[in-house]
């Protein structure tokens, strides 16, 4: 038996000790079905300015529209004769050079919404922009694959729509020890101890008991499993670095969870963008660099795919406050070991052909990326999770 499998099974066993048999049945049933591939979704929350991230440094329109904001040619890590990285992204450029990064340009959806809330909902639910859905696409994934709260983990303290399913919800934690402690309160610990499962019904009361029991056993399972791995890497001292460190700990300790969601804040740069974005991109790139090294060392990188998106890009033209306003299409980063099309997946943004708000038009529907990940990476029925069929791409 492999070490990871052993840890998985023994910690599961110990967490099952006080758990009613119906939960036990859940866990043994799902353990064998779940694949070993991991998916980490990262949201650059607030709307990252993609044009100052992957820079069209030979395009005059770009420079004309951003007199105070455009990145000068000398500060670009050039990739080809059109595009280059913002120089704070050197660690990301390294991943690119190794063939671990694929950049998909012009990703968006029809009738783009420019509200953070709404557009985030749309990306989380994978719905059309005029449909209000109650479930997220990762939530629907764990509805069908995993079926326990810990099957999908958000590295935060409260759960986002992306991990809410129809019958199962993921769980949020950025510190498993705290989560485990929070779950333990004498007032209901005593009650749960007394529970047998034979009378729990499908009605709301049964649902509440079941959710509480599963939440508690999930918290315990995550805590006990994750503490079997301690990273030897030094992550950047900032909250995002910490989030990625926790994610690596979950993956490397072999938690039986396939999907992770991390939100990194701060990208809503309406005012004095340059300095702020420089720092943000640097935090992102340096943390990501260590994260990938951490996974590589445990040989889990080959089984992990990292997808980074923003709810929207920003307007081509800068505003009067040396910042940028909410835009539409944006780039998406895919990081993985065996990408079938590393480098630029598609054409650079077309700054001559903007929409009526003067924002970038999309040429790749983000749901095509989801469909590709579901079908080719997680190897499940993408139509079932997305409630619709989308053209798949060939980046993995």
Partner 1 sequence: MKASYLTHLYSRIGFGLNRKGYQSLKGISKSKIVDAIFESSKAPIPLKIDLSAYDSFVSMKSKNNAKNNQALRKLAQKNRQDIKQLNYAWLDRLRDTDQILREKMTLFWANVFVCKDNNALHIQQYNNILRTNALGDFGDFTKAIAKSAAMSKYLNNKQNRKDSPNENFARELMELFTLGVGNYTETDIKEAARSFTGWAFKKDGSFFLKERKHDNGIKTFFGESGNFNGEDIIDIILNQKQCARFICAKMYTYFVNPKIDEERLELLTNLFYKDYNIENLMRHIIASDWFYDEKNRGVKIKSPIELFIGIQNIVPVNFQKKKQLLYLQKIMGQTLLYPPNVAGWKQDRYWIDSNTLMIRMKLAALLLNNAIINIDIKGEFEDSFEVYYAQERKKNQFLKVASNWDNFDKTYGTLSQDVLKSLLIVSKIDKDTEQFLEGLSTKDNKEYMIQLMSLPEYQLC
Residues that bind partner 1 (CB under 8 A): 45-47, 116-118, 120-121, 130, 132, 134, 149, 156-159, 164, 169-172, 174, 178, 181-183, 185, 187-188, 190-191, 194-196, 199, 203-205, 207-209, 211-212, 214-215, 218-219, 238-239, 263-266, 268, 276, 279-280, 283, 311
Nearest distance from C-beta of residue 188 to partner 1, angstroms: 5
Nearest distance from C-beta of residue 266 to partner 1, angstroms: 3
Nearest distance from C-beta of residue 392 to partner 1, angstroms: 29
Nearest distance from C-beta of residue 99 to partner 1, angstroms: 30
Q: Count other Cβ atoms within 10 Å, centred on residue 131.
A: 11
- Cβ proximity to partner 1, 81 vs 198, nearer residue: 198
* Residue/partner pairs of 384-388 with CB below 8 Å, 24 or more apart: 384/140, 384/144, 385/137, 385/140, 385/141, 385/144, 386/126, 386/137, 386/140, 387/126, 387/140
- Cβ proximity to partner 1, 181 vs 302, nearer residue: 181
Alpha helices in 175-329 (DSSP H): 176-182, 186-193, 204-226, 239-252, 273-297
Task: Select from 389, 370, 387 the least CA-distant residue to 134.
Answer: 387
Is the distance from CB of 150 to CB of 218 less than 8 angstroms? Answer: yes
Query: What is the rounded distance in angstroms from the CA atom of residue 330 to the CA atom of residue 395?
Result: 17
Nearest distance from C-beta of residue 202 to partner 1, angstroms: 11
What's the CA dihedral at 136, 140, 145, 149 to 10 degrees?
60
Nearest distance from C-beta of residue 292 to partner 1, angstroms: 21
- Cβ proximity to partner 1, 272 vs 381, nearer residue: 272
Q: What is the DSSP code (8-state) at residue 374?
A: I
- Cβ proximity to partner 1, 142 vs 305, nearer residue: 142
Query: What is the rounded distance in angstroms from the CA atom of residue 26 to the CA atom of residue 224?
Result: 19
- Cβ proximity to partner 1, 194 vs 232, nearer residue: 194
- Cβ proximity to partner 1, 280 vs 335, nearer residue: 280
């Amino acid at each position: 038996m492999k070490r990871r499998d052993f840890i998985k099974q023994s910690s599961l066993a110990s967490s099952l000790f006080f758990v009613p048999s119906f939960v036990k049945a859940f866990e043994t049933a799902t353990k064998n079905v779940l694949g070993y591939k991991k998916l980490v979704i990262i949201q650059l929350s607030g709307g990252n300015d993609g044009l100052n991230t992957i820079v069209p440094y030979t395009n005059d329109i770009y420079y004309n529209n951003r007199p105070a904001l455009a990145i000068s040619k000398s500060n670009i890590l050039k990739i080809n004769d059109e595009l280059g990285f913002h120089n704070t992204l050197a660690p990301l450029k390294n991943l690119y050079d190794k063939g671990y990064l694929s950049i998909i340009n012009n990703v968006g959806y029809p009738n783009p919404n420019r509200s953070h809330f709404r557009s985030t909902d749309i990306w989380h639910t994978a719905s059309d922009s005029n449909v209000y859905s109650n479930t997220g696409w990762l939530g629907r994934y764990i509805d069908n694959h995993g079926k326990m709260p810990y099957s999908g983990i958000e590295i935060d303290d409260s759960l986002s729509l992306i991990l809410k399913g129809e019958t199962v919800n993921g769980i949020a934690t950025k510190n498993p020890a705290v989560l485990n402690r929070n779950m333990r309160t004498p007032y209901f610990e005593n009650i749960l101890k007394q529970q047998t499962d034979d009378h729990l019904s499908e009605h709301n009361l049964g649902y509440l008991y079941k959710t509480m029991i599963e939440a508690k056993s999930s918290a315990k399972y995550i805590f006990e499993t994750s503490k079997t791995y301690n990273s030897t890497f030094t992550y950047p001292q900032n909250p995002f670095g910490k989030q990625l460190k926790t994610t690596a700990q979950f993956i490397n300790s072999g938690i039986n969870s396939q999907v992770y969601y991390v939100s990194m804040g701060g990208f809503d740069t309406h005012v004095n963008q340059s300095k702020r974005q420089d720092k943000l991109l640097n935090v992102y790139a340096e943390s990501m660099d260590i994260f990938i090294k951490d996974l590589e060392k445990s040989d889990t990188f080959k089984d992990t795919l990292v997808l980074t998106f923003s709810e929207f890009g920003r307007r081509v033209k800068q505003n009067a406050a040396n910042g940028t306003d909410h835009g539409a299409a944006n780039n998406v980063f895919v990081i993985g070991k065996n990408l079938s099309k590393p480098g630029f997946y598609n054409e650079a943004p077309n700054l001559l052909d903007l929409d009526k708000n003067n924002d970038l038009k999309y040429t790749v529907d983000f749901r095509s990326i989801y469909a590709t990940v579901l079908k080719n990476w997680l190897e499940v029925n993408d139509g079932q999770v997305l409630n619709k069929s989308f053209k798949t791409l060939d980046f993995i």
